[in-house]
Amino acid sequence: MDPIYGRIASNKRKTFFLFLLYAVLFVAIGYFGGIYLGDPFAGIILAVVIFVIIFLISYFGGQSAVTAMAGAKEVSKQQEPFLYNTVEGLSYATGKPMPKVYIIETDVPNAFAAGRNPKNAVVAVTRGLMKRLNRQELEGVLAHEMAHISNYDVLLATVAVVLAGTIVFFAAIVRNMVFFGGLGRGGGRKSGQGQIIALIVLIVLAILAPIFAQLLRFAISRQREYLADATAADFTGYPEGLASALEKITNSQVKNSPIENNALNGLYIVNPAIGARQTNRASALYSTHPPAEERVKRLRAM
């Protein structure tokens, strides 16, 4: 088996595992919240219902939510013939379904893909990307985004944007209810010791949940960026196009970028937040992506 396709299969298994971890976190919060309130079974049921509803909403509507959050607008072949034809050409060359094409009206160069599968996906690029890149570089970037679609990274990334945000929101509600006395007293004195333990665990989960959500975003993005780079090079047969594009995009990110968004940064080909940091070390610590220098090095070694 081609090593790339072996890694794609491995990523699909990891995707299922990460979704399972999200579900377990929801259930754990529901369970201990239920113990504190006096009915752990009800807490579990409520958590499962919330998880299923949020998952379905993010699965079927996540693509629209992401493009709306990014300020991306769909364009037709008549509106953007060069961009549309480039995506269409890659689609034909790779035998992949044609994704919808979106543009973000900002001068900061970047791009992302979103969706739930190759038949229901979008690629979005900024106006600045089209201005700064030549055709081979643009093809490399678009091939990278189509690789994310082909590798099913977009499913995990799109749903994770909504689920991670929900976990953070859910945890904030729990913390506020606990610290400001909003939670009830459940079964009273008979279960007082169990309630105290449940309360402690619940507080810990509520504090750690946002950290866990961020760690999941890191797990989603970093290794998958390397794989998408390699797959894109395989699609185009010209790794230098993407390597050169990554250098231009990285060097063009700016402080207080109009596209910077904590929920969406991990979707972009280069994390927009690196423009706010002045050192490679800081970027490596805080970015959802591997260092651009390492990505370029690997591409040029192909």
Looking at residues 159-174, what average pLDDT do you find?
Answer: 68
Model confidence pLDDT, tens digit, residues 124-152: 999 999 999 999 999 999 999 999 888 87
With contact defined as beta carbons under 8 Å apart, do 129 and 111 qualify? Answer: yes
For residue 278, what pLDDT is reported? 45
Looking at residues 99-117, what average pLDDT do you find?
Answer: 93
For residue 12, what pLDDT is reported? 67
Q: Closest Cα to residue 24, out of 200, 153, 208, 267?
A: 208
State yes or no: pLDDT of 98 exceeds 70: yes
Count the domains in the chain. 1
For residue 170, what pLDDT is reported? 67
Q: Closest Cα to residue 93, out of 132, 133, 131, 150?
A: 150
Catalytic residues: 145
With contact defined as beta carbons under 8 Å apart, do 173 and 132 qualify? Answer: no
- Residue 75 — very low, low, confident or very high, per pLDDT cuts 50/70/90? very high
DSSP 289: S
Output 54 or 182, whichever has higher pLDDT: 54
Domain region containing 11: 3-300
State yes or no: pLDDT of 262 exceeds 90: no
DSSP 2: -
Q: 21-35, 166-180, 215-229, 232-246 — which one is most confidently predicted on average? A: 232-246
Backbone angles phi, psi at 195, to 5 degrees: -65, -40
pTM (2 d.p.): 0.77
Q: Which region among 27-36, 98-107, 121-130 has the lowest average model confidence (pLDDT)?
A: 27-36
Q: What SS3 class is residue 69?
A: helix
Question: Which amino acid, residue 234?
Answer: D
Output 54 or 175, whichever has higher pLDDT: 54
Model confidence pLDDT, tens digit, residues 185-215: 444 444 566 667 766 776 777 777 667 666 6
Give the Cα separation of 241 and 300 in Å (integer): 10
Model confidence pLDDT, tens digit, residues 267-294: 899 989 886 554 444 445 445 678 889 9
Give the Cα separation of 228 and 21 in Å (integer): 24
